[in-house]
Amino acid sequence: MREFNFKDQNKKVAYRGILPHNDVNCCPFDYFKDGCALFLASEFRERLEMRGITYYSDDLIDKVTIQNVDKKFSEMLGNSTRNAKLLELLSNEGLSYKEQKRLLKGIVLTSADILWFNKDAQDLNYMLDVFQKEKYPEKFKDKKTPVCFCQQDDNSIETIGTTDMTDGEMRALLEQRKVVQARVFHKGEHWHCFYYTYKGLAGLEPGIMGKQPHYHYISDKSGISRMELERCIKECQMPTSKVHIVIKRGK
């Protein structure tokens, strides 16, 4: 994983978060937990420094943060039940792709579902590879992009750092770029890939399902090899997937 924290003191603007960085052979539940803990620990350190507190124990912050995440996850698991169809997807390696698609049809993923899925995958000895790839249009290759830029709800562009791009060019780059994040749960020759594009996550893809934040799904039973899958991810040109899994945020 990689952490980003962009600030502009003059504009009083900051963007921070955690992104995958081609993380391979991870334990799914531990990876999910560690990502949350890393973000919270960084946020806590920043709050201390804003108050002028610069002497603190990194080890203590990391320990307390992990404990808090463990407690939160235990509460979420204790107050919910796993989705039996998702467990069947992981545990029954003999399912055909048609049967896998039937299991996933109509599923709406909550935060608890995703947590259970990662826990069950780890308990069933799956490993997790996480890839995040971006591809920009060639016409922008010689442009100097700012350190960070974001399109606001009113379509204005907020930037951090210097650039030779106009606001219109930055809007076009955001609209035309391709971004794919893929999570591949694998065990031996068997794998399940859940991926999203930024447009798909924002509910900006065509069709009824495309209007909602969603994952796409393919597997080793879908007719492509793992090598071909990784090539597609690298090129941000994913194979066609008619399986859309709606993501219900905030639950």
Note the pLDDT tens digit of each residue in 121-172.
999 999 999 999 999 889 988 889 988 888 888 988 988 888 999 999 999 9
Q: Residue 235 and residue 223: Cα distance in Å, rounded? A: 19
Place of tokens 């560690």: 34
**Closest CA relative to residue 182, chosen from 246, 117, 131:** 131
Q: CB-side exposure of 159: number of CA atoms within 13 Å?
A: 17
Note the pLDDT tens digit of each residue in 203-225.
767 666 666 889 999 999 999 99
Going by pLDDT thresholds of 50, 70 and 90, the confidence category of residue 52 is confident
Report yes or no: 161 and 9 within 8 Å, Cβ to Cβ: no
Alpha helices in the chain, H assignment, sequence order: 28-50, 58-78, 84-91, 97-104, 111-123, 167-176, 198-201, 226-235
Arithmetic mean of pLDDT over the chain: 89
